[in-house]
């Protein structure tokens, strides 16, 4: 696997601390973060809203998404809605939010990420099938052509609902810091595959300026 493995009991707390540190160490005033979906992400954002309330000037933060389900932004399955509920509505501010809009296709987001250049932080989760963002096993996005930062994708094996928009591995690699948060026994097999560099587990291909895996003992139990 690429990056540093940190086994920690309190994954949301460790996530919040890493984001606060990244904000403090940012170059210039602006700060960009790409959010993830999933239950682990929700817990991480609820904690970041508390632990980062005073440490982060949210008026300096540009909020992106690493992937999105192709549903209404108000749909309960929307990662934008998750980010709003768990973080943005709680901190009450952001310099800008950049939701992924499937109905526009991938090009506008590709251009936006291209203009941004680098993310300060990209947050990712890990699926039990070894996916991260919406980079699913055997999916077309795994072989995106060079230069593609954002694509439309889906899960050909049918384990994950909805068509998606997602950063590609090249898009993720635009991050100064990639934080992958993994909790629970259900992720132990996927985590072991990633740690072994199993290429059929897409998350084992994640790269970035610095990649850190925050993994609880249950998810690390087969390492
Ligand atoms: C998504 C997420 C996805 C998620 C993992 C882990 O849109 O579904 O981006 O990559 O991070 O599936 O999700 P859990 O934390 O719910 O296990």
Structural domain harbouring 10: 4-162+182-215
Alpha carbon distance, N-terminus to C-terminus of the chain: 12
CB atoms within 10 A of CB 117: 8
Q: Which atom of ligand 1 is nearest to the CA of 164?
A: 7
As a whole number of angstroms, the longest Cα–Cα distance in the chain is: 43
Report if residue 174 sits inside a domain.
no
The length of the chain, given as a count of residues: 223
Residue 1 pLDDT exceeds 90: no
- When the pLDDT of each residue in the chain is averaged and rounded to a whole number, the result is 98
Rounded to 5°, the CA angle 181-62-5 comes to: 20
Cα 104 to its chain centre, rounded Å, is: 21
> Buried (b) or exposed (e) across 153-167, using 16+ Cβ within 10 A?
bbbeeeebeeebbbb
Report if residue 99 sits inside a domain.
yes
CATH number for the domain including 186?
Answer: 3.40.50.1360
How many separate domains does the chain show? 1
pLDDT tier, 191 (very low <50, low <70, confident <90, very high otherwise):
very high
Give the Å distance between the CA of 132 and the centre of ligand 1: 7
Q: Going by C-beta distance under 8 Å and a sequence separation of 6 or more, which residues neighbour residue 89? A: none
Report if residue 172 sits inside a domain.
no
Indicate yes or no: pTM above 0.85: yes
Q: What is the mean pLDDT of residues 149-155?
A: 98
Report if residue 169 sits inside a domain.
no
Report if residue 167 sits inside a domain.
no
Whole-angstrom distance, CA of residue 122 vs CA of residue 131: 15
Q: What is the mean pLDDT of residues 174-184?
A: 98
Helix (H, G, I), strand (E, B) or coil at 180: strand
Give the Å distance between the CA of 28 and the centre of ligand 1: 31
Q: What is the mean pLDDT of residues 97-101?
A: 98
């Amino acid at each position: 696997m690429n990056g540093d493995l940190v086994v920690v009991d309190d994954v949301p707390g460790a996530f919040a601390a890493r984001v606060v540190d990244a904000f403090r160490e940012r170059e210039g005033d602006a700060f960009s973060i790409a959010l993830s979906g999933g239950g682990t992400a929700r817990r991480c954002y609820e904690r970041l809203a508390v632990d980062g309330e005073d440490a982060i000037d949210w008026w300096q933060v540009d909020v992106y998404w690493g992937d999105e389900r192709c549903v209404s932004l108000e749909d309960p399955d929307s990662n934008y809605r998750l980010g709003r509920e768990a973080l943005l509505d709680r901190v009450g501010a952001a310099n800008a939010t950049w939701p992924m809009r499937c109905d526009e296709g991938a090009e506008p987001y590709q251009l936006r990420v291209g203009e941004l250049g680098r993310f300060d932080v990209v947050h990712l989760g890990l699926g039990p099938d070894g996916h991260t963002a919406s980079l699913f096993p055997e999916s077309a996005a795994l072989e995106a052509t060079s230069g593609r930062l954002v694509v439309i994708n889906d899960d050909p094996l049918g384990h994950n609902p909805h068509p998606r928009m997602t950063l590609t591995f090249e898009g993720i690699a635009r991050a100064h810091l990639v934080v992958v948060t993994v909790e629970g026994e259900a992720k132990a097999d996927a985590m072991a595959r990633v740690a072994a560099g199993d290429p059929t587990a897409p998350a084992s291909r994640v790269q970035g300026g610095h990649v850190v895996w925050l993994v609880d003992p249950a998810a690390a139990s087969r390492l």
